[in-house]
Structure 1
Amino acid sequence: MTSLPTAAEIVAAHERWLAGAGWPQTAASPAGDLWSWIEANHRHNSLLWAEEDLARRTRVADAEIAANKRAIDRYNQARNDATERVDELLLVALGLVDAASARTDAPRPTVAAGARLNSETAGSMIDRLSILALKIRAMREQAARGDVDVAHVEASRRKLVQLEQQRADLAGCLDALLDDARAGHAYFKVYRQFKMYNDPRLNPALVAESRRAG
Protein backbone atom coordinates (compact mmCIF):
# COMPACT_ATOMS: atom_id res chain seq x y z
CA MET A 1 0.00 0.00 0.00
CA THR A 2 1.21 3.49 -0.85
CA SER A 3 2.32 5.47 2.19
CA LEU A 4 -0.41 7.91 3.18
CA PRO A 5 0.14 11.32 4.76
CA THR A 6 -0.60 11.89 8.41
CA ALA A 7 -2.79 14.75 9.54
CA ALA A 8 0.23 16.39 11.18
CA GLU A 9 2.06 16.36 7.83
CA ILE A 10 -0.95 17.92 6.11
CA VAL A 11 -1.32 20.63 8.77
CA ALA A 12 2.40 21.44 8.49
CA ALA A 13 2.14 21.62 4.69
CA HIS A 14 -0.84 23.98 4.91
CA GLU A 15 1.14 26.30 7.17
CA ARG A 16 4.26 26.06 4.97
CA TRP A 17 2.38 26.88 1.79
CA LEU A 18 0.65 29.86 3.40
CA ALA A 19 4.05 31.20 4.49
CA GLY A 20 5.55 30.81 0.99
CA ALA A 21 6.50 34.01 -0.85
CA GLY A 22 4.04 34.66 -3.65
CA TRP A 23 1.89 31.63 -2.84
CA PRO A 24 -0.89 30.88 -3.83
CA GLN A 25 -0.51 32.92 -7.03
CA THR A 26 2.76 31.18 -7.94
CA ALA A 27 1.65 27.61 -7.19
CA ALA A 28 2.10 25.10 -10.00
CA SER A 29 -0.72 23.12 -11.57
CA PRO A 30 -1.34 19.72 -9.92
CA ALA A 31 1.18 17.11 -11.08
CA GLY A 32 -1.27 14.27 -10.54
CA ASP A 33 0.04 12.90 -7.25
CA LEU A 34 -1.79 13.12 -3.94
CA TRP A 35 0.30 15.93 -2.45
CA SER A 36 -0.13 18.14 -5.52
CA TRP A 37 -3.90 17.80 -5.24
CA ILE A 38 -3.82 18.55 -1.51
CA GLU A 39 -1.91 21.72 -2.38
CA ALA A 40 -4.37 22.53 -5.19
CA ASN A 41 -7.25 22.28 -2.74
CA HIS A 42 -5.46 24.57 -0.29
CA ARG A 43 -4.50 26.99 -3.05
CA HIS A 44 -8.07 27.38 -4.28
CA ASN A 45 -9.36 27.76 -0.72
CA SER A 46 -6.81 30.56 -0.24
CA LEU A 47 -7.80 32.32 -3.46
CA LEU A 48 -11.47 31.85 -2.58
CA TRP A 49 -10.88 33.36 0.88
CA ALA A 50 -9.35 36.51 -0.65
CA GLU A 51 -12.23 36.92 -3.09
CA GLU A 52 -14.79 36.46 -0.30
CA ASP A 53 -13.17 39.37 1.56
CA LEU A 54 -13.24 41.57 -1.55
CA ALA A 55 -16.86 40.69 -2.31
CA ARG A 56 -17.93 42.30 0.99
CA ARG A 57 -16.75 45.76 -0.06
CA THR A 58 -19.43 48.46 -0.14
CA ARG A 59 -17.60 51.40 -1.76
CA VAL A 60 -16.65 49.99 -5.14
CA ALA A 61 -18.47 49.65 -8.44
CA ASP A 62 -20.99 46.84 -8.79
CA ALA A 63 -18.91 45.45 -11.66
CA GLU A 64 -16.04 44.78 -9.24
CA ILE A 65 -18.31 42.82 -6.89
CA ALA A 66 -19.70 40.87 -9.85
CA ALA A 67 -16.14 39.97 -10.85
CA ASN A 68 -15.44 38.80 -7.28
CA LYS A 69 -18.58 36.64 -7.29
CA ARG A 70 -17.61 35.00 -10.58
CA ALA A 71 -14.11 34.33 -9.24
CA ILE A 72 -15.65 32.80 -6.10
CA ASP A 73 -17.64 30.39 -8.27
CA ARG A 74 -14.51 29.37 -10.20
CA TYR A 75 -12.36 28.83 -7.13
CA ASN A 76 -15.12 26.99 -5.28
CA GLN A 77 -15.57 24.61 -8.20
CA ALA A 78 -11.80 24.05 -8.41
CA ARG A 79 -11.60 23.49 -4.65
CA ASN A 80 -14.35 20.85 -4.84
CA ASP A 81 -12.75 19.20 -7.86
CA ALA A 82 -9.45 18.95 -5.95
CA THR A 83 -11.23 17.49 -2.90
CA GLU A 84 -12.78 14.77 -5.06
CA ARG A 85 -9.39 14.02 -6.65
CA VAL A 86 -7.83 13.66 -3.18
CA ASP A 87 -10.55 11.17 -2.25
CA GLU A 88 -10.00 9.20 -5.46
CA LEU A 89 -6.26 8.91 -4.87
CA LEU A 90 -6.64 8.00 -1.19
CA LEU A 91 -9.20 5.31 -1.97
CA VAL A 92 -7.02 3.84 -4.71
CA ALA A 93 -4.03 3.81 -2.33
CA LEU A 94 -6.15 2.11 0.34
CA GLY A 95 -7.50 -0.44 -2.13
CA LEU A 96 -11.07 0.64 -1.39
CA VAL A 97 -12.15 1.49 -4.94
CA ASP A 98 -11.77 -0.10 -8.33
CA ALA A 99 -8.99 2.04 -9.80
CA ALA A 100 -10.42 1.98 -13.34
CA SER A 101 -13.70 3.47 -12.09
CA ALA A 102 -12.27 5.94 -9.56
CA ARG A 103 -12.62 8.99 -11.80
CA THR A 104 -16.07 8.16 -13.17
CA ASP A 105 -19.39 9.45 -11.86
CA ALA A 106 -19.97 6.04 -10.23
CA PRO A 107 -16.76 4.72 -8.62
CA ARG A 108 -17.05 1.06 -7.62
CA PRO A 109 -16.09 0.37 -3.97
CA THR A 110 -14.01 -2.69 -3.11
CA VAL A 111 -14.74 -2.91 0.59
CA ALA A 112 -14.34 -5.70 3.12
CA ALA A 113 -17.57 -7.15 4.52
CA GLY A 114 -18.54 -5.56 7.81
CA ALA A 115 -16.62 -2.29 7.31
CA ARG A 116 -18.55 0.78 8.42
CA LEU A 117 -19.26 3.62 6.03
CA ASN A 118 -17.95 7.00 7.22
CA SER A 119 -20.32 9.76 6.12
CA GLU A 120 -17.53 12.33 5.75
CA THR A 121 -14.73 11.60 3.31
CA ALA A 122 -11.05 11.96 4.09
CA GLY A 123 -10.79 14.53 1.29
CA SER A 124 -13.51 16.68 2.84
CA MET A 125 -11.70 16.51 6.18
CA ILE A 126 -8.51 17.68 4.49
CA ASP A 127 -10.52 20.48 2.88
CA ARG A 128 -11.79 21.50 6.34
CA LEU A 129 -8.21 21.45 7.69
CA SER A 130 -7.28 23.83 4.87
CA ILE A 131 -10.06 26.23 5.81
CA LEU A 132 -9.07 26.04 9.47
CA ALA A 133 -5.49 26.92 8.50
CA LEU A 134 -6.82 30.06 6.81
CA LYS A 135 -8.98 30.95 9.82
CA ILE A 136 -6.06 30.43 12.18
CA ARG A 137 -3.77 32.63 10.10
CA ALA A 138 -6.41 35.37 9.98
CA MET A 139 -7.06 35.17 13.72
CA ARG A 140 -3.33 35.28 14.47
CA GLU A 141 -3.18 38.52 12.50
CA GLN A 142 -6.09 39.93 14.50
CA ALA A 143 -4.44 38.94 17.78
CA ALA A 144 -1.24 40.74 16.73
CA ARG A 145 -2.85 44.03 15.67
CA GLY A 146 -1.57 47.21 17.26
CA ASP A 147 -4.34 49.51 16.03
CA VAL A 148 -7.18 48.02 18.11
CA ASP A 149 -8.10 47.98 21.77
CA VAL A 150 -7.08 45.34 24.28
CA ALA A 151 -10.53 43.74 24.26
CA HIS A 152 -10.25 43.03 20.52
CA VAL A 153 -6.83 41.44 20.95
CA GLU A 154 -7.91 39.30 23.90
CA ALA A 155 -11.07 38.15 22.12
CA SER A 156 -8.99 37.22 19.07
CA ARG A 157 -6.58 35.23 21.22
CA ARG A 158 -9.44 33.27 22.79
CA LYS A 159 -10.87 32.51 19.36
CA LEU A 160 -7.42 31.47 18.14
CA VAL A 161 -7.15 28.91 20.94
CA GLN A 162 -10.56 27.52 19.98
CA LEU A 163 -9.66 27.31 16.30
CA GLU A 164 -6.41 25.51 17.06
CA GLN A 165 -8.32 23.02 19.22
CA GLN A 166 -10.83 22.46 16.43
CA ARG A 167 -7.98 21.75 14.04
CA ALA A 168 -6.33 19.34 16.47
CA ASP A 169 -9.66 17.51 16.96
CA LEU A 170 -10.24 17.24 13.21
CA ALA A 171 -6.67 16.07 12.60
CA GLY A 172 -7.16 13.30 15.13
CA CYS A 173 -10.39 12.23 13.44
CA LEU A 174 -8.67 12.13 10.03
CA ASP A 175 -5.87 9.93 11.34
CA ALA A 176 -8.42 7.63 13.00
CA LEU A 177 -10.42 7.28 9.78
CA LEU A 178 -7.36 6.45 7.68
CA ASP A 179 -6.11 4.00 10.32
CA ASP A 180 -9.51 2.26 10.39
CA ALA A 181 -9.63 2.22 6.59
CA ARG A 182 -6.18 0.58 6.42
CA ALA A 183 -7.35 -2.05 8.87
CA GLY A 184 -10.51 -2.77 6.87
CA HIS A 185 -12.80 -1.49 9.61
CA ALA A 186 -14.06 1.64 7.82
CA TYR A 187 -14.34 3.15 4.39
CA PHE A 188 -15.56 6.28 2.64
CA LYS A 189 -16.63 7.02 -0.91
CA VAL A 190 -16.05 9.62 -3.58
CA TYR A 191 -19.08 11.88 -3.42
CA ARG A 192 -19.54 13.90 -6.59
CA GLN A 193 -20.78 17.40 -5.83
CA PHE A 194 -22.51 17.96 -9.19
CA LYS A 195 -22.47 21.74 -8.81
CA MET A 196 -25.52 22.41 -10.98
CA TYR A 197 -25.32 26.19 -10.78
CA ASN A 198 -21.97 26.13 -12.58
CA ASP A 199 -23.23 23.91 -15.40
CA PRO A 200 -24.89 25.78 -18.31
CA ARG A 201 -26.79 22.58 -19.16
CA LEU A 202 -28.29 22.21 -15.67
CA ASN A 203 -28.70 25.74 -14.26
CA PRO A 204 -32.25 26.76 -15.32
CA ALA A 205 -31.34 30.44 -15.39
CA LEU A 206 -28.44 29.77 -17.77
CA VAL A 207 -30.57 27.45 -19.90
CA ALA A 208 -33.20 30.16 -20.25
CA GLU A 209 -30.56 32.76 -21.03
CA SER A 210 -29.11 30.52 -23.75
CA ARG A 211 -32.54 30.00 -25.31
CA ARG A 212 -33.20 33.73 -25.40
CA ALA A 213 -29.81 34.33 -27.05
CA GLY A 214 -30.54 31.66 -29.64
Structure 2
Amino acid sequence: MKFTELSNTIFSNVIEDYHKTDNVDTPVSNPFEVKTIEYYLYLKNWIDTVQWHLEDIIRDPQIDPVVALGIKRRIDKSNQDRTDLVELIDSYFLDKYKDVIASPEAKINTESPAWAIDRLSILALKIYHMEQEVNRPDASESHREQCQKKLSVLLEQRKDLSEAITDLLGDIENGHKYMKVYKQMKMYNDPDLNPVLYEQKGK
Protein backbone atom coordinates (compact mmCIF):
# COMPACT_ATOMS: atom_id res chain seq x y z
CA MET A 1 0.00 0.00 0.00
CA LYS A 2 1.27 3.47 -0.87
CA PHE A 3 1.97 5.79 2.05
CA THR A 4 -0.73 8.19 0.87
CA GLU A 5 -3.26 5.35 0.66
CA LEU A 6 -2.41 4.41 4.24
CA SER A 7 -2.70 8.05 5.32
CA ASN A 8 -6.02 8.67 3.58
CA THR A 9 -7.51 5.48 5.02
CA ILE A 10 -6.43 6.35 8.55
CA PHE A 11 -7.64 9.93 8.23
CA SER A 12 -11.08 8.78 7.06
CA ASN A 13 -11.28 6.32 9.96
CA VAL A 14 -10.31 9.00 12.46
CA ILE A 15 -13.01 11.36 11.25
CA GLU A 16 -15.63 8.61 11.43
CA ASP A 17 -14.41 7.70 14.94
CA TYR A 18 -14.62 11.33 16.09
CA HIS A 19 -18.15 11.78 14.78
CA LYS A 20 -19.43 8.84 16.83
CA THR A 21 -19.63 11.39 19.65
CA ASP A 22 -18.96 14.66 17.77
CA ASN A 23 -17.61 16.15 20.97
CA VAL A 24 -14.34 18.07 21.23
CA ASP A 25 -13.77 16.68 24.73
CA THR A 26 -13.90 13.04 23.65
CA PRO A 27 -10.56 11.43 24.57
CA VAL A 28 -8.60 9.97 21.68
CA SER A 29 -8.70 6.18 21.46
CA ASN A 30 -5.80 5.41 19.15
CA PRO A 31 -5.97 1.78 17.93
CA PHE A 32 -2.35 1.61 16.78
CA GLU A 33 0.81 0.68 18.61
CA VAL A 34 2.49 3.66 20.27
CA LYS A 35 5.26 5.36 18.28
CA THR A 36 4.41 3.59 15.01
CA ILE A 37 3.81 5.75 11.94
CA GLU A 38 0.17 4.64 11.96
CA TYR A 39 -0.13 5.84 15.55
CA TYR A 40 1.26 9.26 14.61
CA LEU A 41 -1.00 9.57 11.56
CA TYR A 42 -4.06 8.73 13.63
CA LEU A 43 -3.12 11.19 16.37
CA LYS A 44 -2.30 13.88 13.80
CA ASN A 45 -5.73 13.74 12.21
CA TRP A 46 -7.46 13.49 15.58
CA ILE A 47 -5.83 16.75 16.61
CA ASP A 48 -6.84 18.32 13.29
CA THR A 49 -10.42 17.07 13.66
CA VAL A 50 -10.85 18.40 17.18
CA GLN A 51 -9.34 21.73 16.15
CA TRP A 52 -11.67 21.91 13.14
CA HIS A 53 -14.64 21.80 15.50
CA LEU A 54 -13.08 24.18 18.00
CA GLU A 55 -12.71 26.66 15.13
CA ASP A 56 -16.45 26.24 14.44
CA ILE A 57 -17.40 26.75 18.09
CA ILE A 58 -15.31 29.89 18.57
CA ARG A 59 -17.08 31.57 15.63
CA ASP A 60 -20.44 31.49 17.39
CA PRO A 61 -21.40 35.22 17.56
CA GLN A 62 -23.15 34.58 20.88
CA ILE A 63 -20.19 32.85 22.55
CA ASP A 64 -19.22 34.03 26.01
CA PRO A 65 -15.90 35.96 25.77
CA VAL A 66 -14.39 34.00 28.66
CA VAL A 67 -15.29 30.72 26.97
CA ALA A 68 -13.89 32.03 23.69
CA LEU A 69 -10.58 32.90 25.33
CA GLY A 70 -10.33 29.39 26.76
CA ILE A 71 -10.97 27.90 23.32
CA LYS A 72 -8.46 30.26 21.72
CA ARG A 73 -5.78 29.04 24.10
CA ARG A 74 -6.81 25.48 23.43
CA ILE A 75 -6.42 26.11 19.69
CA ASP A 76 -2.96 27.59 20.28
CA LYS A 77 -1.96 24.43 22.18
CA SER A 78 -3.43 22.31 19.38
CA ASN A 79 -1.39 24.17 16.77
CA GLN A 80 1.79 23.45 18.72
CA ASP A 81 0.85 19.76 19.06
CA ARG A 82 0.13 19.64 15.34
CA THR A 83 3.53 21.11 14.50
CA ASP A 84 5.29 18.70 16.85
CA LEU A 85 3.58 15.74 15.16
CA VAL A 86 4.51 16.94 11.69
CA GLU A 87 8.14 17.04 12.81
CA LEU A 88 7.80 13.52 14.25
CA ILE A 89 6.44 12.25 10.94
CA ASP A 90 9.27 13.94 9.07
CA SER A 91 11.71 12.26 11.46
CA TYR A 92 10.21 8.95 10.38
CA PHE A 93 11.02 9.76 6.75
CA LEU A 94 14.50 10.99 7.63
CA ASP A 95 15.22 7.70 9.34
CA LYS A 96 13.65 5.66 6.56
CA TYR A 97 15.81 7.28 3.88
CA LYS A 98 18.93 7.91 5.96
CA ASP A 99 21.04 5.51 3.87
CA VAL A 100 20.00 6.97 0.51
CA ILE A 101 22.82 8.80 -1.22
CA ALA A 102 21.42 11.80 -3.05
CA SER A 103 22.67 12.37 -6.57
CA PRO A 104 24.78 15.51 -7.22
CA GLU A 105 21.84 16.97 -9.13
CA ALA A 106 19.33 16.31 -6.33
CA LYS A 107 17.25 19.27 -5.20
CA ILE A 108 15.22 19.99 -2.11
CA ASN A 109 11.44 20.20 -2.30
CA THR A 110 9.48 23.33 -1.35
CA GLU A 111 7.96 21.47 1.58
CA SER A 112 8.84 18.34 3.51
CA PRO A 113 6.82 15.13 3.09
CA ALA A 114 5.12 15.52 6.47
CA TRP A 115 3.90 19.06 5.75
CA ALA A 116 2.36 17.73 2.54
CA ILE A 117 0.75 14.95 4.62
CA ASP A 118 -0.54 17.70 6.92
CA ARG A 119 -2.36 19.21 3.94
CA LEU A 120 -3.76 15.78 3.11
CA SER A 121 -5.13 15.49 6.65
CA ILE A 122 -6.93 18.84 6.37
CA LEU A 123 -8.27 17.85 2.95
CA ALA A 124 -9.84 14.74 4.49
CA LEU A 125 -11.75 17.01 6.88
CA LYS A 126 -12.84 19.36 4.10
CA ILE A 127 -14.11 16.42 2.06
CA TYR A 128 -16.03 14.89 4.96
CA HIS A 129 -17.76 18.12 5.89
CA MET A 130 -18.48 19.10 2.31
CA GLU A 131 -20.13 15.70 1.84
CA GLN A 132 -22.26 16.52 4.86
CA GLU A 133 -23.41 19.72 3.16
CA VAL A 134 -24.14 17.92 -0.10
CA ASN A 135 -26.43 15.52 1.78
CA ARG A 136 -27.92 18.04 4.22
CA PRO A 137 -31.69 17.46 4.13
CA ASP A 138 -32.66 20.96 5.29
CA ALA A 139 -30.45 22.75 2.72
CA SER A 140 -31.73 24.19 -0.54
CA GLU A 141 -31.14 22.44 -3.84
CA SER A 142 -28.87 25.28 -4.99
CA HIS A 143 -26.81 24.97 -1.79
CA ARG A 144 -26.36 21.25 -2.33
CA GLU A 145 -25.43 21.77 -5.99
CA GLN A 146 -22.79 24.36 -5.12
CA CYS A 147 -21.37 22.09 -2.44
CA GLN A 148 -21.26 19.18 -4.88
CA LYS A 149 -19.13 21.29 -7.22
CA LYS A 150 -16.79 22.17 -4.36
CA LEU A 151 -16.66 18.53 -3.30
CA SER A 152 -15.60 17.48 -6.80
CA VAL A 153 -12.73 19.98 -6.65
CA LEU A 154 -11.66 18.74 -3.22
CA LEU A 155 -11.68 15.12 -4.38
CA GLU A 156 -9.58 16.04 -7.40
CA GLN A 157 -7.22 17.99 -5.14
CA ARG A 158 -6.79 14.95 -2.87
CA LYS A 159 -6.02 12.75 -5.86
CA ASP A 160 -3.45 15.22 -7.20
CA LEU A 161 -1.85 15.84 -3.80
CA SER A 162 -1.66 12.10 -3.07
CA GLU A 163 0.10 11.51 -6.39
CA ALA A 164 2.48 14.40 -5.78
CA ILE A 165 3.43 13.06 -2.33
CA THR A 166 3.94 9.58 -3.77
CA ASP A 167 6.21 11.06 -6.45
CA LEU A 168 8.14 13.08 -3.86
CA LEU A 169 8.74 10.04 -1.66
CA GLY A 170 9.86 8.09 -4.72
CA ASP A 171 12.28 10.86 -5.69
CA ILE A 172 13.74 10.92 -2.17
CA GLU A 173 14.05 7.13 -2.12
CA ASN A 174 15.84 7.18 -5.47
CA GLY A 175 18.16 10.06 -4.54
CA HIS A 176 16.62 12.52 -7.00
CA LYS A 177 15.55 14.80 -4.15
CA TYR A 178 16.62 15.18 -0.55
CA MET A 179 14.86 16.46 2.51
CA LYS A 180 15.61 18.59 5.54
CA VAL A 181 13.53 19.22 8.63
CA TYR A 182 13.43 22.79 9.84
CA LYS A 183 12.07 23.17 13.36
CA GLN A 184 9.23 25.67 13.26
CA MET A 185 10.60 27.67 16.18
CA LYS A 186 7.27 29.31 16.93
CA MET A 187 8.09 32.45 18.87
CA TYR A 188 4.72 33.32 20.38
CA ASN A 189 4.67 30.16 22.55
CA ASP A 190 8.20 30.65 23.86
CA PRO A 191 8.47 32.65 27.13
CA ASP A 192 12.01 33.65 26.13
CA LEU A 193 11.06 34.92 22.66
CA ASN A 194 7.60 36.46 23.02
CA PRO A 195 8.14 40.01 24.42
CA VAL A 196 4.72 40.01 26.10
CA LEU A 197 5.77 36.93 28.08
CA TYR A 198 9.38 37.76 28.87
CA GLU A 199 8.52 41.31 29.92
CA GLN A 200 6.05 39.80 32.40
CA LYS A 201 8.85 37.62 33.79
CA GLY A 202 10.97 40.70 34.44
CA LYS A 203 8.34 42.41 36.54
- TM normalised by structure 2 equals 0.90
RMSD: 2.0
Please, which runs of 5 or more residues in structure 2 have no aligned partner? none
Deviation at 1:90, TM superposition (A): 0.9
Would you say the 8 A contact 1:30–1:37 is kept in 2? no
The within-5 A match list for 1:1-214 is 5-20=2-17, 21=20, 25-28=27-30, 31-95=34-98, 111-212=102-203
Query: Structure 1 residue 13: deviation in Å?
Result: 1.3
Whichever residue aligns with residue 19 of structure 1, its letter is: E
Deviation at 1:148, TM superposition (A): 1.6
Give the fraction of aligned pairs with identical amino acids, expressed as a percent: 31
**1:200 match: secondary structure:** coil
**C-alpha separation between the residues in 2 aligned to 1:30 and 1:52?**
29
Deviations 1:105-141 (A, max 9, x none): xxxxx74432111121100011000000001111011
Amino acid of the structure 1 residue aligned with 2:47: H
CA contact (8 A) 1:84 1:190 kept: yes
1:198 partner SS: coil
Instruction: Give yes or no for contact 1:96–1:187 (8 Å, CA) kept in 2.
Output: no
Q: CA deviation at 1:96?
A: 5.9
SS at match of 1:197: coil
Q: Distance in 1 between matches of 2:21 and 2:117?
A: 23
Unmatched 5+ stretches in structure 1: 98-109
Q: Give me the whole-angstrom Cα distance separating, in 2, the residues matched to 1:137 and 1:96.
A: 38
Mapped partners of 1:208, 1:53: distance in 2: 33
C-alpha distance after superposition, 1:2-24 (max 9, x if no partner): xx952122111111121124587
| CA shift digits 1:58-107 (9 cap, x unpaired) | 1121001101100100111001100011001111111169xxxxxxxxxx
Which has the higher mean CA deviation after the structures are superposed, 179-188 or 112-121? 112-121
The alpha-carbon deviation at position 209 of structure 1 amounts to 2.2
1:114/1:185 contact within 8 Å kept: yes
Q: Do the aligned partners of 1:129 and 1:170 also contact (CA within 8 Å) in 2?
A: yes
Structure 2 distance, partners of 1:141, 1:73, is 27
Q: Judging changes above 3 Å, is the alpha-carbon distance between structure 1 residues 196 and 5 closer, same or farther for their aligned structure 2 residues? A: farther
Does the aligned pair in 1 maintain the 2:103–2:175 contact within 8 Å?
Answer: yes
In structure 2, the residue matched to 1:101 is none
